[in-house]
Amino acid sequence: MKSYFENMAPFGKALKKGTIKRTQSNYEQVLDAEKKILAAVDEVKNAGLPEEKINQRGQMTVWQRLEYIVDPGTWTPLHTLFNPGDNVEGTTNVIDGLGKIAGRWAVVIGFDNKVMAGAWLAGQSENILRVTDLAERLNIPLVWLVNCSGAKLTEQEKFYANRRGSGTPFFRHAELEQEGIPVLAAIYGTNPAGGGYQSISPTVLFAHEKCNMAVGGAGIVSGMAPQGGFTVDMAEALVQKAKEHRAKPPGSVATHYDHTGFFRFVYKEEKEVLDGVRDYMKKLPAYDPEFFRVTAPKAPAFEAEDIMRLLPIASKTVYDFDDILARLVDGSEHMEFRPDYGPEIYTGLCKVDGLLVACIGNRQGYLGKGYPEYADYPGMGAKLYRQGLLKMNEFVTLCGRDRVPVIWFQDTSGIDVGDIAEKAELLGLGQSLIYSIQQSGLPMMLAILRKGTAAAHYVMGGPQANRNNAFTLGTCATEICVMHGETAAVATYARRLVKEKEAGRDLEPVVEKMNALAQKYKDTSTPLYCAKHGMVDEVVGLADLRHYMKSFAGAAYQNPKSICPQHQMILPRIIRDHAAAKEKE
């Protein structure tokens, strides 16, 4: 199949002098917006105690542990800004991402031991469940850096119980293990109660000699059975007991290595624990990437930084999607599927790090005379019409057959609406695409370049595809909402305006409400808001998109659950034969 994969067509255009000149303002706006995202990330990194304080105790911080264990250049952070409970600590208190350890991809997650010694906080379990989902989606090991003091007792109602509460990850670990996905845990510090289950539920436990894990902690002063309330006299007695209380935390190495044997390995130094995990990763199964590569890896022909000029930060301005994609894929080469059909959508086979991926994205701009063919109105990119929906359905289905992971790029204003669009079956075709995605069983990732709107956000590989979408990225230009805020304001208040007008009342109060709603939409669709509430899993720099694509592709091909032999793939042949027939016409 060399002739297919080594001779892909080049695409994309170099930046002209004029382009560089006129996009300078956009470039600077993107830089500025990305700086604000980085500032928010820095706040999370600096949450809790200073690094020096943790180091003075002879401990590494979670950030230092991550830096040590993850192979240089492979760390791919996710959920950094996720904080749906708006915790005062500024974090859900777990740090996670994809990374290679000893050359093998893993999902890596650790408790932030700078913040309340790694306690359970609101939003944390949802964060952890997304991480376990990621390991399941990509079929790669999950590596934990455990250092968990248990529940933040003053807020337990926010996370302790409930269907997706802090106990659910323990069932999820069991689920991963039943699917043959190992969970390795490096264990540090004191891990009572919830921390105990965080430590015991993984598959293999690597313990630091000073750590412990237990059903209950030593922090509960004994002899204080509930009395129905507290008095000052009781408080005095408590002061005395607390001063005398010297119990050691239960579940130390002496118990769980020497006696129960729960700890498989024990190490003297913190770094040795991580070395132990690293050595163990080498024992785990993983295909050499050469098994799946279709060509040698190749950098794109154009600079990734160009994307900061090519993607207008102003959401109404059209641009050339192909030029952006050409900066993200190997050699800036592709095999486009059905280029003469469904012009609002790009579908094609590309390579990332020599691995075959399917790319799907919204094209922008006027779509030409006579399109969409079912309507008497013109078609504009970013919207989805019948042909585009049909093309995506067909492409995703064939990707499923050929076992090609999919990378989606969204910048969409939604699916065409109105009775003409209904007669063109767009409602059914949108759900059909959902069905096609679900039945493909493929791992997918999504980058929302700018707009993610209405049902189009769902059907184009959105995070709602729980069984397929591994992670969703936002950029500094991302806006996610059901519709434009002004459209929503009109929909909400139009009838009220009519009533007020007919009653002879001042329209100004309603106008104020309309403006307030439009502003609310603006405030709740920004990249930072989307990341905080989990609508995207990370906001990344435009120049960093390819890094995430490489991590996704590498991880997806490490241990796929099914294989299609390259010489039995159908998509490359369909694409080439279609192009040849077109040339003959």
Q: How far is the CB of 297 from other proteins (least distance, A)?
A: 32
Tell me whether residue 381 or residue 430 sits nearer to other proteins (CB atom). Answer: 381
Tell me whether residue 76 or residue 413 sits nearer to other proteins (CB atom). Answer: 413
Question: Is the separation of the CB atoms in 117 and 150 below 8 Å?
Answer: no
Q: How far is the CB of 470 from other proteins (least distance, A)?
A: 31
Tell me whether residue 79 or residue 484 sits nearer to other proteins (CB atom). Answer: 484
Tell me whether residue 250 or residue 365 sits nearer to other proteins (CB atom). Answer: 365
E strands in 188-308: 190-192, 204-208, 212-214, 265-267
296-308 burial, b at 16+ Cβ within 10 Å, e below that, comes to: eeeebbbebebbb
Q: How far is the CB of 202 from other proteins (least distance, A)?
A: 50
Q: How far is the CB of 19 from other proteins (least distance, A)?
A: 5
Kind and range of the H or E element at 253? helix 253-256
529-555 burial, b at 16+ Cβ within 10 Å, e below that, comes to: bbbbbbbbbbbbbbbbbbbbbbbbbbb
SS3 28: helix
Tell me whether residue 490 or residue 528 sits nearer to other proteins (CB atom). Answer: 490
Tell me whether residue 149 or residue 453 sits nearer to other proteins (CB atom). Answer: 453
Q: How far is the CB of 314 from other proteins (least distance, A)?
A: 8
Residues 6+ apart with CB under 8 A from 277: 69, 101, 143, 184, 186, 206
Q: How far is the CB of 22 from other proteins (least distance, A)?
A: 5
Q: Write the CA distances from 552 to 139, 140, 179, 548, 555, integer angstroms.
A: 12, 11, 20, 6, 5
Which residue, chain included where needed, has tokens 């409602």? Answer: 427
Distance of alpha carbon 176 from alpha carbon 136, whole angstroms: 7
Tell me whether residue 27 or residue 395 sits nearer to other proteins (CB atom). Answer: 27
Tell me whether residue 301 or residue 380 sits nearer to other proteins (CB atom). Answer: 380
How many other CB atoms are found less than 10 A from the CB of residue 271?
15
Residue type, 569: M
Q: How far is the CB of 346 from other proteins (least distance, A)?
A: 17
Distance of alpha carbon 188 from alpha carbon 475, whole angstroms: 35
Q: How far is the CB of 364 from other proteins (least distance, A)?
A: 7
Give the number of residues written for the chain.
Answer: 585
Residues that bind other proteins (CB under 8 A): 16-19, 21-22, 314, 316-318, 364-366, 369, 378, 380-383, 413, 484
Distance of alpha carbon 576 from alpha carbon 433, whole angstroms: 24
Distance of alpha carbon 350 from alpha carbon 271, whole angstroms: 40
